[in-house]
């Protein structure tokens, strides 16, 4: 009989890109230490097929001598049940052949010897009682499991799995309960490979390579930063941020996706206030102008698509509209009441209905005409919308709790679409893991002073596998500020992925583009409380200081080589990225580290690689500027006793600003290096790396 993965990939029809992703990931898990040391990362887009990918990884891992897989899910009963059902469906053949068993750790029966001989999959909700049951199963109940080769898969790994807090009495950093339990499990298994899975990895990449050991923990915190990253391929049916936030020509249907909402409207819908929105004037008030447009656009767009399907003898689909403005339940009740008042009022006010329909028809027609889709007759769509309103072909669901979600799920684990038109109103419960099909409208209003990139991306439930024809009738409603921030977030996210594709994040430090306006931060501050997070702005610099220069006998030949290499240059000149990295490595070998020194060579190498592989402008790829400066006589320590950290002068930085607009500049300053100055008694080169002036700010975590 063929292996587990051969059978499942044939059954699923995995394409070459997905097979490569699965094979590369398992190979790295097998050959690299990803248990105690560092995890691996499976990085995908929001709703891009990450679950399908890690299911394949589990089966191939079973072929490579792994015996147990543990899947950690977001802490809701809904997602735990959904994940177990997905496992049972994907692995049904193996279960029927008595080769594999799958259990929810919370409802797992007492295992017998026959079951313990099989490949085992445990689905574990990220909640302290569930994780305690997992630990007990491996340590107390079935200790044989702790001696087997285990693959730990942490789905949505940046959610609940990583959290720190500060003890206000001692000022020490403590780990969150769930993070500690996951660490405890990693230690309890002799051979544990750890794979993180997420679309929003920012807090994980911003962890240090190692943590300072807290006094309260025998082993300290186990590493969370990934040792490798494998990208989940983007399939052809995927609709994501580039569709909603890319730069599109006016003749593209994607140019019409965004429909602006005034800030005052979003504020008016946050909580009930009859002075702001009178329920008897919902068709007249300017306070909910965009919401009225959203509802009628949804009706018109849905019935255009249904009528096109009917004309083409395809079973018409049911469609969804998501209203996500805030997390408070009282606000959801208020929004539902306003929507119901609008629907009731337009049925009795024929003049206003005709106005709203005419505006919606004109709006949706623009994108439908650009798409090339055959547009049905206007009178036919008018009749269908009126019929839907008159006969209540609409469901309005508030989605506030895990229990409510479970009651709404269909057999595929998606929110059930019970009518041709379905409106879902909710908050946080609508984010990670919840899949809603045929979304053609998304009214979004979450507007904190600072947007967290990971949170905002997970709110984007309009992403996922979507028929591209649906985009012609899809609209996204939000404020100008939200749209611009989300556009930047998509650019940052795309840049991170592109950097991995180009190899710009392969030097041990992962750089993420940040927001110069400081409206966007990568993640919640408590997730990076134990990290030394650094921002490198445009023209920002990185340099070592506090080191000693090595004696003449150890560095003479290297210094002479650099002298010859830079001879004749007194202005910045171009060299290849590889030569720049080699030069930096040579310089590093001439400097002696000491306990108080700052030696950011890993970050400097990573930055050179990032800027060279991810240039500000097209052309000039894999190029770095070298700026040699000679005859410097800086002392190692200032009179105050502080280490000198300013080998460059204002005039040197002016030269960098002139030449380093779009390229990184590695300035190297030749110091006299005398013993009287506190050095090793022989000249040496001191490196200072400058970011391009036209780059975005970068965020990274310094090594511990």
Q: How big is the chain by its Cα radius of gyration, in Å?
A: 29
Percent share of the chain, pLDDT over 70? 96
pLDDT at 643 over 70: yes
pLDDT tens-digit series, residues 223-255 = 899 999 999 999 999 999 999 999 999 899 999
469 dihedral zone (left: phi>0; alpha: psi -120 to 50; beta): alpha
pLDDT tens-digit series, residues 317-346 = 999 999 999 888 888 999 999 999 999 999
Query: HSE of 519 in the Cβ direction (CA atoms, 13 Å)?
Result: 13
pLDDT on residue 704: 61
pLDDT on residue 211: 81
Boundaries of CATH 3.40.50.300 in the chain?
A: 4-231
pLDDT on residue 690: 97
Burial call 336-368: b when 16+ CB within 10 Å, e when fewer:
bebbebbbebbeeeeebbeebbeebbebbbebb
pLDDT at 141 over 60: yes
pLDDT tens-digit series, residues 294-311 = 999 999 999 999 999 999
Would you say the C-alpha torsion 309, 310, 312, 316 has a positive or negative sign? positive
DSSP state at residue 253: G
pLDDT at 136 over 80: yes
Percent share of the chain, pLDDT over 90? 71
pLDDT on residue 276: 76
- The three-state secondary structure class of 163 is coil
DSSP state at residue 525: G
Local confidence band at 448 (pLDDT 50, 70, 90 cut-offs): confident
- What is the pTM (predicted TM-score) of this model? 0.90
* Contact present, 12 and 51 (Cβ < 8 Å): no
pLDDT at 35 over 60: no
pLDDT on residue 217: 47
pLDDT at 700 over 60: yes
Helices (H), 399-449: 402-408
pLDDT tens-digit series, residues 605-620 = 999 999 998 887 766 8
pLDDT tens-digit series, residues 162-196 = 888 887 777 788 889 999 999 999 999 999 999 99
pLDDT on residue 34: 59
pLDDT on residue 515: 80
d(CA 43, CA 232): 6
pLDDT on residue 248: 92
pLDDT on residue 617: 74
User: In the CATH scheme, what architecture does the domain 4-231 have?
Assistant: 3-Layer(aba) Sandwich (3.40)
d(CA 522, CA 237): 28
Mean pLDDT of 581-588: 97
Mean pLDDT of 266-292: 86
Which residue in the block uniquely carries the two structure tokens 């544990």? 192
Mean pLDDT of 542-570: 96
Across 211-220, 348-357, 493-502, least confident range: 211-220
Mean pLDDT of 570-577: 96
């Amino acid at each position: 009989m063929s292996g587990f993965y051969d059978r499942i990939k044939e059954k699923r029809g995995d394409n070459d890109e997905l097979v490569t992703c699965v094979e590369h990931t398992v190979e790295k898990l097998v050959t690299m230490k990803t248990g105690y040391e560092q995890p691996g990362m499976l990085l995908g887009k929001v709703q891009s097929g990450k679950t399908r990918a890690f299911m394949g990884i589990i089966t191939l891992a079973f072929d490579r001598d792994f015996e147990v897989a543990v899947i950690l899910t977001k802490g809701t009963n809904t997602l735990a049940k959904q994940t177990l059902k997905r496992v049972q469906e994907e692995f049904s053949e193996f279960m029927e052949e008595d080769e594999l068993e799958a259990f929810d750790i919370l409802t797992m029966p007492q295992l017998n010897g026959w079951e313990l001989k099989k490949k085992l999959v445990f689905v574990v909700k990220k909640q302290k009682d569930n994780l305690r049951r997992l630990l007990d199963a491996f340590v107390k109940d079935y200790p044989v499991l702790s001696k087997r080769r285990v693959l730990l898969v942490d789905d949505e790994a940046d959610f609940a799995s990583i959290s720190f807090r500060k003890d206000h009495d001692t000022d020490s950093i403590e780990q969150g309960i769930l993070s500690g339990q996951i660490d405890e499990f990693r230690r309890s298994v002799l051979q544990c490979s750890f794979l993180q899975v997420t679309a929003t990895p920012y807090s994980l990449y911003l962890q240090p390579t190692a943590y300072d050991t807290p006094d309260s923990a025998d082993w300290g915190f186990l590493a969370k930063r990934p040792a490798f990253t494998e990208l989940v391929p983007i399939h052809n049916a995927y609709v994501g941020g580039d569709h909603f936030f890319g730069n599109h020509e006016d003749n593209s249907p994607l140019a019409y996706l965004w429909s602006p909402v005034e800030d005052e409207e979003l504020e008016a819908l946050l909580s009930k206030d009859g002075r702001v929105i009178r329920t008897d004037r919902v068709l007249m008030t300017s306070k909910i102008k965009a919401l009225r447009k959203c509802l009628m656009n949804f009706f018109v767009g849905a019935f255009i698509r249904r009528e096109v399907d009917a004309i083409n003898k395809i079973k018409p689909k049911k469609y969804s509209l998501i209203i996500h403005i805030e997390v408070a339940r009282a606000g959801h009740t208020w929004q539902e009441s306003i929507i119901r008042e609008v629907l009731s009022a337009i049925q009795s006010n024929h003049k206003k209905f005709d106005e709203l329909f005419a505006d919606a028809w004109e709006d949706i027609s623009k994108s439908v005409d650009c798409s090339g889709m055959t547009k049905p007759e206007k009178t036919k769509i008018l009749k269908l919308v009126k019929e839907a309103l008159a006969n209540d072909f609409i469901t309005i669901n508030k989605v506030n709790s895990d229990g409510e979600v479970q009651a709404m799920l269909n057999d595929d684990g998606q929110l059930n679409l019970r009518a041709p038109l379905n409106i879902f109103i909710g908050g946080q419960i609508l984010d990670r893991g919840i899949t809603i099909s045929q979304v053609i409208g998304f009214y979004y209003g979450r507007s904190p002073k600072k947007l967290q990139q990971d949170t905002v991306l997970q709110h984007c439930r309009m992403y996922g596998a979507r028929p591209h024809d649906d985009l012609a009738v899809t609209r996204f409603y939000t404020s100008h500020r939200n749209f611009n921030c989300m556009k930047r977030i998509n650019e940052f996210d795309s840049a991170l992925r592109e950097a991995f594709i180009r190899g710009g994040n392969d030097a041990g430090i992962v750089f993420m583009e940040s927001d110069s306006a400081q409206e966007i931060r990568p993640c919640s501050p408590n997730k990076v409380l134990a990290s030394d997070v650094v921002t490198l702005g445009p023209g920002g610099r990185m340099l070592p200081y506090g080191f000693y220069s090595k004696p003449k006998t150890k560095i003479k030949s290297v210094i002479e080589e650099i002298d010859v290499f830079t001879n004749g240059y007194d202005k910045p000149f171009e060299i290849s990225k590889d030569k720049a990295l080699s030069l930096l490595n040579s310089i590093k070998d001439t400097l002696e580290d000491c306990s108080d020194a700052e030696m950011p060579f890993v970050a400097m190498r990573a930055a050179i690689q990032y800027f060279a592989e991810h240039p500000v402008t097209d052309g000039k790829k894999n190029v770095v500027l070298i700026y040699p400066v000679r005859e410097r006589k800086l002392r190692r320590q200032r009179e105050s006793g502080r280490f000198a950290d300013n080998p460059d002068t204002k005039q040197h930085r002016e030269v960098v600003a002139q030449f380093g607009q779009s390229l990184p500049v590695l300035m190297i300053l030749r110091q006299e290096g005398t013993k009287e100055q506190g050095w090793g008694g022989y000249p040496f080169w001191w490196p200072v790396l400058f970011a391009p002036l036209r780059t975005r700010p970068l965020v990274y975590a310094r090594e511990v």
